[in-house]
Structure 1
Amino acid sequence: MSETASTRATRKTPDRPLVTAPDLLSSLAPLLAEWVPRQRWFAGKGRLITGFSLVSATELLSCTAEGTAPGILQLLVRAQQPVPPSRAAVAGDCYQLLLGVHPALPPRLAPAAIGRPAGGPLRGRTVYDALLDNRLCGLLLERLRMPGRIGALRFGREPGAGPPSGLPARPVTAEQSNSSIVYGDAYILKIFRRIAPGINPDLELPRALTAARCARVPAPVAWLETEAAEEGGEPTTLGVLQQYLPGSSDGWRLALDALAARADFTGPARALGHATAEVHTALAQTLPTTELHGPQLAAVAARMTARLEATARAVPVLQPYRDRLRASFDALAGVGRDGRGWAAQRIHGDLHLGQTLRSPGAGRWSLIDFEGEPARPLAERRRLQPALRDVAAMLRSFDYAARSGPAGGDPWSLEWARHTRDAYCLGYAEAGGLDPRSAPALMRAYETDKAVYEVLYEARHRPDWLPVPMAAVRRLAAGD
């Protein structure tokens, strides 16, 4: 009996000759140099790619078999780009690519095409983005249902939590810093694109919260990773399959809808404050915590100041406000010198309205996407930090909505933001979190740091949005 594609995708297999072929990457490099910079998840925009180096390659489904069936090739590659002299030792960002390989690409997949290698083991075949092919996405799910390894990859699964077979796959086409696939309105698979060694918080924290019986986070059920590079080290997370919340609306869209209708949003904001405090409490009870005192708070303030200086050099419009913004960070360091300490724990790390979902009917809030700010190093994203950093980030998100919605920051919208921010803080305090209004130095420093981050992000990626964080810069610099 002939072997089916599903069987070939899920059985354990050793590395095939294609994986170690020395001319594999050299034959793909010209195609990747054109395709990779156009992807939303590519972090090196504006800098020339001078080449690629291969970290690993694994065939999930044979790419050179006879016949018309497609193959799947998983690659980890480093993009070689010019870097400033201060970063001369940096090897380059590592990216995960999932490539489909087809003898003759069907017309329906033409938008996914990357190109046809002129040589190497894939010569004469079309290489394309596998995550835009529903069939190959379905085969990925089949593989995640079976713990084990293929080549350099390892598939893990929570006991008894495997998804059923045969769920239809639907790639999420919205621009993201990663790639996602929805399976039958029951599960969602996030494939991480920019890869750093170690456990990704978007697997680590939801697993901890699920173990703590915190119902505010969709539970992870399976994951894809590479094994640790050295004995005693951590594996590197490549993808996470989680429960999907069908019918839910993200907080950003709900806030914009409320602004467009000139509707009050304090009730949902207060409930969201409750949800945030519940997540923080569960994380503090489940994972390590610490206390930040004078030297540690001074180090936090120093990192904030360094980010401010670097951003002011990159975005000159920030320079007139630099000294007054730095005063917020100096005040944070002063809190430490006065002998007061702050509790620190694992946090979300990139909390905003777009990272929240509200269920239909009861309107229950959930928090998603615990990866943290992808542009920051993984070690920094896993660092223990005051929980109020998440709160400050959410306050910035309410301000963003008010200034970017249909009203564009008119007096009514700004008053909406003020009341909504207050309601969120009230809900957070009611659910057992520290009242953010009792920590003005900490809140001002973290909100200022977030606004500085936003200035750099918008200047690089969405210049038309730069006035939004710059309005916050002016407000914070004025001490409002």
Structure 2
Amino acid sequence: MSEAVTRPATAGPGLLASLDPLLREWLPRQRWFAGKGRPVTGFSLVAATELLPAGGKLGLYHLLVQVHQPLTHGTGPGDCYQLLIGEREALPPRLAPALIGHVTEGPLTGRTVYEALYDPRPAGLLLEALRTRARIGGLRFERDPRQEVRSGLVPRAVTAEQSNSSVVYGDTFILKLLRRIVPGVNPDLELPLALAREGCPRVPAPTAWLLAELSGQSYVLGVLQPYIQGAADGWELALRELAKGQDFAAEARALGRATAEVHTALARALPTVTLGHIQLRSMVDGMLERLDAAAQAVPALRTYAPGLRSAFQALADLAAEGHTWTAQRVHGDLHLGQCLRSPAGGPSHAFGSGGEWSLIDFEGEPARPLAERRMPQPTVRDVAGMLRSFDYAAHSVRPSVPGWAESCRAAYCSGYAEIDGRDPRNDPVLLRAYETDKAVYEVVYEARHRPDWLPVPLSAVRRLASSHLT
């Protein structure tokens, strides 16, 4: 396999013409495709790299494709996606779920194309390229020289729905391939590398990463990290305990401690800034704009809009009085599903001991511009996201467990204060503003994608709209 990952190769012309009609049908069905609800009108090929030669038993292409869709004003280029396309004469039954389609035009006529991450050989090729620090066309496979990557680890694709795609290698590593890509420094690599330099044990240190260099710009395409075997994500763990009627406060407290450890390490590793009146006024204006847009989109929100606006105005009033806040790099999209707990009493890992919490997925909210995701924020933003996540978990089981979310929220904040020295609840105006902003976002998301879940954020909206602070 090594010879396939060392030769520079660019796919020939006409490839996209072969794939165009199939991708128009297949792409919108993928969980990670962000342009749902709008037709695909065409594609532009940003880059195409041949990883395995065409015409043999198995061909393999790495593609970066710009998708064209109708926009608010006319039609224009949309998001750029990373695709790993395999092509065979016919698919074996085990790869049937990966089928994209049968090509009827262009240079791949007569071949069958499919999502190659489900195929062990292409997936294994990616690991080998990372292990050997290969260069293939514009693709650069980088690795931390201090970490060893063994060859021959058996790959398996993660089939759970994600906003990206992941492959696990022999219960040793997990490769996260970013689907929607943008040029620049991606926080999903930047922040774990910074935390690794600080020796923070709460975040798996990147082992290797995949980059592309195109027209003088760098793109982060994927990150390989240690895999925590047997770990449960916080969402699954919370629902399991809820279903049994078990208290989750001890876990929430430990998770609060882990969050504060990560925040403390990030503040050491990267610059912090002070938010004064001008910066806070801009932040509040953004919150108000999002509220107004949400109230237009979801009529059920309009009754509560005045009370919600008061949450943001209270923050603006404090800023006008001269209050300032410290901002730093944060996770940006923290919730229970972004946290992993290794099995209690299980094997220790280089980045944590058995039974400990780890934080993952530092990409931030993918829908936000990259520059915004990399801006310093008050740490309360992450805290508010986790508090909302406890509320979601509590509303996800029947019968409900009275007081479960409130107990978890209190324990989480107490655990955070044990490490940070400051309890987030002691900054109620800022915490309420961020919780309100998050709940407004959730209302719009649920109204569009999961209407049955709309009562969950609406219950928080009712509480937050009536929480007038002195």
Normalized against structure 2, the TM-score is what? 0.95
- 1:130 matched residue in structure 2: 116
Which has the larger displacement, 254-263 or 41-50?
A: 254-263
- 2:386 matched residue in structure 1: 394
Residues 330 and 376 in structure 2, CA contact (< 8 A), matched pair in contact too: yes
Secondary structure of 2:420's counterpart equals coil
- 2:397 matched residue in structure 1: 405
Aligned amino acid, residue 137 of structure 1:
A
Cα shift at 1:433: 5.0
After superposition, give the CA deviation of every residue in 1:22-68 in whole Å (9 maximum; x if it has no partner): x221221110000000000011111111111111111122123x3x2
- 1:10 matched residue in structure 2: 5
Secondary structure of 1:227's counterpart equals strand
Quick check: 1:471 aligned with 2:439?
A: no
- Structure-to-structure mapping, 1:316-355, within 5 angstroms: 316-355=299-338
Quick check: 1:261 aligned with 2:263?
A: no
Distance 2:54 2:369 in 1: 34
Quick check: 1:179 aligned with 2:184?
A: no
Aligned amino acid, residue 13 of structure 1:
P
Cα shift at 1:406: 2.9
Cα shift at 1:370: 0.7
1:248 to 219, 226, 231: 231
- 1:378 matched residue in structure 2: 370
Residues 2 and 129 in structure 2, CA contact (< 8 A), matched pair in contact too: no
Secondary structure of 2:132's counterpart equals coil
2:263 to 274, 280, 286: 280
2:339 to 347, 356, 364: 356
Distance 2:254 2:214 in 1: 40
Distance 1:311 1:197 in 2: 29
Residues 53 and 79 in structure 1, CA contact (< 8 A), matched pair in contact too: yes
Normalized against structure 1, the TM-score is what? 0.93
Residues 8 and 61 in structure 1, CA contact (< 8 A), matched pair in contact too: no
Cα shift at 1:129: 0.3
Quick check: 1:451 aligned with 2:439?
A: yes
Cα shift at 1:147: 1.5
After superposition, give the CA deviation of every residue in 1:276-295 in whole Å (9 maximum; x if it has no partner): 00000000000111010100
Cα shift at 1:251: 0.9
- 2:90 matched residue in structure 1: 104
CA spacing shift, 1:14–1:129, aligned 2, 3 Å = closer
Secondary structure of 1:216's counterpart equals coil
Cα shift at 1:197: 1.2
Residues 281 and 433 in structure 1, CA contact (< 8 A), matched pair in contact too: no
Quick check: 1:296 aligned with 2:279?
A: yes
Distance 1:295 1:402 in 2: 38
Cα shift at 1:193: 0.6
Cα shift at 1:89: 8.4
After superposition, give the CA deviation of every residue in 1:162-197 in whole Å (9 maximum; x if it has no partner): 410000001000110000000011100001111111
Quick check: 1:224 aligned with 2:219?
A: no
Distance 2:264 2:289 in 1: 31
- 1:3 matched residue in structure 2: none
2:177 to 191, 196, 210: 191
After superposition, give the CA deviation of every residue in 1:138-164 in whole Å (9 maximum; x if it has no partner): 111111112242112111111132410
Distance 2:421 2:61 in 1: 46
Aligned amino acid, residue 283 of structure 1:
L
Residues 6 and 135 in structure 2, CA contact (< 8 A), matched pair in contact too: no
Secondary structure of 1:81's counterpart equals strand
Cα shift at 1:210: 0.7
- 2:28 matched residue in structure 1: 37
Cα shift at 1:257: 1.6
Residues 277 and 433 in structure 1, CA contact (< 8 A), matched pair in contact too: no
Cα shift at 1:83: 1.2
Aligned amino acid, residue 405 of structure 1:
V
After superposition, give the CA deviation of every residue in 1:198-247 in whole Å (9 maximum; x if it has no partner): 122111111110110000011111111112643xx5x2101100011001
Q: Which runs of 5+ in 1 are unaligned?
A: 1-5
Distance 1:421 1:37 in 2: 37
Residues 69 and 75 in structure 2, CA contact (< 8 A), matched pair in contact too: no
Instruction: Give me the identity figure in percent.
Output: 61
Aligned amino acid, residue 115 of structure 1:
G
Cα shift at 1:382: 0.8
Residues 79 and 92 in structure 1, CA contact (< 8 A), matched pair in contact too: yes
Distance 2:413 2:27 in 1: 41
Which has the larger displacement, 314-323 or 336-345?
A: 314-323
Distance 1:31 1:261 in 2: 46
Cα shift at 1:20: 3.8
Distance 2:142 2:76 in 1: 31
- 1:47 matched residue in structure 2: 38
Residues 63 and 83 in structure 2, CA contact (< 8 A), matched pair in contact too: yes
Residues 9 and 142 in structure 1, CA contact (< 8 A), matched pair in contact too: no
Which has the larger displacement, 33-42 or 330-339?
A: 330-339
Cα shift at 1:128: 0.2
Aligned amino acid, residue 314 of structure 1:
A
